[in-house]
Amino acid sequence: MLSVSNVAKSFGGLHVLHDVNFTADSASITALIGPNGAGKSTLVNIIGGVLKPDAGRVHLDGEDVTGVPSATAFAKGITRTFQISGNVGSLNVFESVAVAAYRQARGYRQANALARAELERFELWEYRDQQLGSIPTALTRLVDFARAMVSRPKVLLLDEVMAGLTPHEVDLVIRQVGTCREQGVAIVMIEHVMQAVEALADHVVVLNQGQVIASGSLGDVSRNAEVVEAYLGTPPSERDEVRVPADTPAKGQQ
Ligand SMILES: Nc1ncnc2c1ncn2[C@@H]1O[C@H](COP(=O)(O)OP(=O)(O)OP(=O)(O)O)[C@@H](O)[C@H]1O
């Protein structure tokens, strides 16, 4: 289990996170939602070892991993999807997952076997020979999952993996995020696409101006008056369903 306790972070005089608490269980999906600038990415960067908090602790299965470098966080089981960079654009789908598998494997045969198993799990085997730069964005997101899952993480951090996808592609990626959960991973997902939050989140944590203003099921938080005021914008009585545009500025920033 991942546990975040009393985390605070400032950049100069800008207090970005204050006293943030939440837990994420194995085999569950926690959606971090909130307006732009709420502090979601900063929080995920702290969990992943990219940033050190000014205060508070991060524990993984009871072990204090606060402020460890990202390579250490990764070695302990905290991984995240990365945007495919130009450097790996020349690799094909199989090679890009095999490279990640080499870190785990004893030799290239085992790495190749691990990569194949992951590509099959994510229904990517048929694309194995294609260059990363030549496949649709939705498939590159799935390759990212395969690369992340080949390291057998305990925690998977997903930062807006649905951004820019069509509704049909979102459905595809939703299914495969579910596959990651089935592997027992605690998934923490920053997500603005409510189709995905509705379909996937076991637990929703709402951040606003660096504070957790609500947590619980999506139904619970979407009935919370403070959440409606800060993020959803419309009282429940005036809307049929929760729909949040991708770029909702924080109240007060409008
Ligand atoms: N390295 C940094 N230096 C200074 N300010 C920063 C830094 N990183 C983030 N911030 C500021 O911290 C605040 C929170 O940013 P953060 O990216 O964590 O929010 P977010 O909730 O992820 O927003 P979005 O949904 O737009 O990605 C913003 O005001 C941002 O400008």
ipTM: 0.96
Domain annotation covers residue 221: no
- How many angstroms separate the alpha carbon of residue 40 from the centre of ligand 1? 8
The tally of CA atoms less than 13 A away on the side-chain side of residue 148 is 30
1-54 pLDDT, tens per residue? Answer: 999 999 999 999 999 999 999 999 999 999 999 998 999 999 999 999 999 999
- In this structure, are 92 and 186 located in the same domain? no
Q: Quote the number of domains for the chain.
A: 2
Continuous segment of H or E residues that includes residue 81 = none
Q: Rounded to whole angstroms, how far apart are CA atoms 154 and 149?
A: 9
CB-side neighbour CA atoms (13 Å) of 162: 27
Q: Whose CA is nearest to atom 18 of ligand 1?
A: 39
Nearest atom in ligand 1 to 41's CA: 22
DSSP-assigned states of every residue in 209-224: TTEEEEEE-HHHHHT-
What lies within 8 Å, CB to CB, of 102 at 6+ separation is 108, 111
Mutation pick for ligand 1 pocket among 7, 9, 11 (CB with most ligand atoms within 8 Å): 11
Give the pairing of strands 28-33 and 186-190: parallel
99 C-alpha to ligand 1 centroid (Å): 31
Looking at every residue in the chain, the average pLDDT score rounds to 87
What is the b/e burial string over 183-201, where b = at least 16 CB atoms within 10 angstroms of the residue's CB? eebbbbbbbbbbbbbbbbb
> Within this chain, do residues 132 and 239 fall inside the same structural domain, yes or no?
no
CB atoms closer than 10 angstroms to residue 240: 6
Choice between 228 and 254, residue whose per-residue pLDDT is larger? 228
Q: What is the pLDDT of residue 134?
A: 87
Q: Which of 16, 20, 251 to mutate to test the pocket of ligand 1 (most atoms within 8 A of CB)?
A: 16
Per-residue pLDDT of 92-120, as tens digits, reads 999 999 988 988 778 889 999 999 999 99
Q: Which pLDDT band, with edges at 50, 70 and 90, does 236 fall under?
A: very low
| Partners of 202 in beta bridges | none
Residue 216 lies in a domain: no
Ligand 1 centroid – CA 15 distance (Å): 10
112: in domain:
yes
Same domain flag for 68 and 159: yes
Long-range contacts made by residues 20-26, C-beta under 8 angstroms, separation at least 24? 20/56, 20/207, 20/210, 20/211, 20/212, 21/212, 22/205, 22/212, 22/215, 24/155, 24/186, 24/187, 24/188, 24/203, 25/1, 25/186, 25/202, 25/203, 26/1, 26/154, 26/184, 26/185, 26/186
* Domain-located, residue 160: yes
> Are 40 and 166 found together in one domain?
yes
Q: 32 lies in which domain range?
A: 1-77+154-210+229-254
Is the same domain home to 143 and 235? no
Please tell me the distance between residue 210's alpha carbon and the centre of ligand 1 in angstroms: 10
Pocket of ligand 1 (CB under 6 A): 11, 14, 16, 34, 36-42
Q: From the CA of 17, give the closest atom in ligand 1.
A: 14
